[in-house]
Amino acid sequence: MARILVAEDEVAVREFIRRVLEARGHEVVAVGDGAEAVVKLSRGAFDLLLADIVMPNMDGVELSLKAARDWPHLTVLLMSGVAMERRRAHGIGQLANAILNKPFSMADLAQAVESALELAADAD
């Protein structure tokens, strides 16, 4: 399956995502903010970056911009429960493949991740 980096500052949400994705056979590395995600990205290859838009230190939009510049083949899926931030993220164009709206169910999460991974596979 895929190797997925999750950047989410809320511990409960981060753990929920990790458990759901690991149950589906994915390898998951989870961090609490965008700055930590950059460190992990620089140390290993990932198939997907799943990042919250609103995080401390480096938010998901900044992280997406950096990922697009430094890891251009990395698929990015953003998530947010804040309408204003979702609108802001739509302004970054193709840097994020999709935005997952919070709150989401296990099925919503699994579908969004599988769709993002299919896009990545089609691009290769």
The whole-angstrom separation of Cα 23 and Cα 94 is 29
Q: What is the pTM of this model?
A: 0.90
Mean pLDDT over 37-57 rounds to: 95
What's the confidence (pLDDT) of residue 58?
94
Residue 120 Rama label (left phi>0; alpha psi -120 to 50; beta): alpha
CB 78, CB 33: distance < 8 Å: no
The whole-angstrom separation of Cα 23 and Cα 15 is 12
Looking at residue 7, its amino acid is: A
3-109: which CATH topology? Rossmann fold (3.40.50)
Please report which helix (H) or strand (E) contains residue 7, including its range. strand 3-7
- Ranges of each domain in the chain: 3-109
* Predicted confidence band of residue 31 (pLDDT cuts 50, 70, 90): very high
pLDDT by residue (tens digit) across 79-124? 987 655 555 555 555 545 678 888 999 999 999 999 999 987 887 6
